[in-house]
A = this chain, B = another copy of it.
Amino acid sequence: MSKLAYLGPQGTFCEAALRLLEPDAERLPCANVGAALDAARDGEADGAVVPLENSVEGAITQTLDELAGGRPLHITGEWLLPVEFSLLVRPGTELAQIKRVITHPAAHTQCRGYIERELPGAVVIAASSTAAAAQEVASPESPYDAAISPAIAGEYYALDAIASNIGDRSDTVTRFIKVNRPGRLSEPTGADRTSLVAFLRDDHPGALLEMLSEFAVRGVNLTRIESRPTGDGIGRYFFHFDLEGHIADARVGEAVAGLHRLCDDVRFLGSYPRADRLPTQIKEGTADADFAEAADWLTKIRAGRA
């Protein structure tokens, strides 16, 4: 049975994802993304499950930054989970009694419509996580009347869900990833994704265009690009890329090797099956067989046999 660290405390969406998708795993809650990843790095856990991006909030920057530095970890899987917020109260509290609400600012943003409509006079206070908000409300002396949290947090902290699925959009999803210490890669499935981090050699104008050209020329589609600061001043960035295909694919390998030649450093973050199972669209001339045929042809030419 594997042991997986996750972004805690108990009751986070991250735990919900983990329970749903790896129900048999032992779960190790960690205080933040960095701690969860370190647990995987150190061997305290076999791996870690952390959020990577949210369809409303965007990238989870701590995850991006923690994966870009420190000892390497590989993404080995991804899941897309709907984000559903509940309004959690101590048993007995009624809607009309709610004056002070606590939740994470992102949840506040995503439930703004509900709050204005149903809790017009309530004050909303920021917590460090939606699960921490529930934990806070669970205390009998808490100055807060309700928490906006995942339903799962209600179970842990013995709170009642006075309302469910109160987000302004019903289609919000979070993308979670599972990471492990580097090891043998999983086999390509035809519906894979590869994640990378690229550090520019020098940050000249046109550098991003050059990086994108490495992918475009080999027919590799990017599905996500994020710029992140290097820390060396405003205007200095490194880049996270998600792309279609597996590093074992010829076109992906050549593109990534090209990126490696272009950059100061490229960190491979893994090739893994896509959560949506959409097969990679392969542009004419860029299938593995096309690369193999071209390589044979080149070998013959170089040997003077063509």
Contacts of A256 in B (CB 8 A): 298, 301
Contacts of A132 in B (CB 8 A): 126
Q: List 11 A-B contacts (CB under 8 A).
A: A53-B229, A53-B234, A55-B229, A185-B302, A206-B221, A208-B212, A209-B213, A217-B217, A218-B258, A260-B298, A268-B301
Most buried by B among A58, A221, A256, A290: A58
Contact with B along A290-306 (1 / 0, CB 8 A): 11011101100111111
A131 to chain B, nearest CB (A): 12
Contact with B along A266-306 (1 / 0, CB 8 A): 00100000000000010011100011011101100111111
Query: Is A233 in contact with chain B by the CB < 8 A criterion?
Result: yes
Contact B214 A224 (CB under 8 A): no
In angstroms, Cα B182 to Cα A258, docked, is: 31
From B183, B286, B297, A304 is in contact (CB under 8 Å) with B183
Smallest CB-CB separation from A255: which chain B residue? B217
| 7 more CB-based (< 8 A) A-B contacts, given A58-B229, A225-B227 | A54-B229, A55-B229, A56-B229, A182-B304, A224-B237, A247-B301, A254-B254
In angstroms, Cα B32 to Cα A74, docked, is: 36
Query: Is A23 in contact with chain B by the CB < 8 A criterion?
Result: no
In angstroms, Cα B290 to Cα A223, docked, is: 27
Contacts of A261 in B (CB 8 A): 285-286, 290-291, 293-294
A contact patch SS? mixed
Query: Is A57 in contact with chain B by the CB < 8 A criterion?
Result: yes
Number of copies: 4
Query: Is A257 in contact with chain B by the CB < 8 A criterion?
Result: yes
Query: Is A169 in contact with chain B by the CB < 8 A criterion?
Result: yes
Query: Is A120 in contact with chain B by the CB < 8 A criterion?
Result: no
A: interface residue count bin:
35 or more
Contacts of A57 in B (CB 8 A): 61, 229
| Chain A residues within CB distance 8 Å of chain B | 32, 53-58, 61-62, 72, 74, 80, 105, 109, 125-128, 132, 169, 171-173, 175, 182-185, 201, 205-206, 208-209, 212-214, 216-218, 221-229, 231-237, 247-248, 253-254, 256-258, 260-262, 268, 281, 284-286, 290-291, 293-295, 297-298, 301-306
Smallest CB-CB separation from A53: which chain B residue? B234
Contact A306 B227 (CB under 8 A): no
In angstroms, Cα B244 to Cα A235, docked, is: 12
Contact A72 B306 (CB under 8 A): yes
Contacts of A303 in B (CB 8 A): 184
Contact B302 A248 (CB under 8 A): yes
A128 to chain B, nearest CB (A): 3
In angstroms, Cα B251 to Cα A254, docked, is: 12
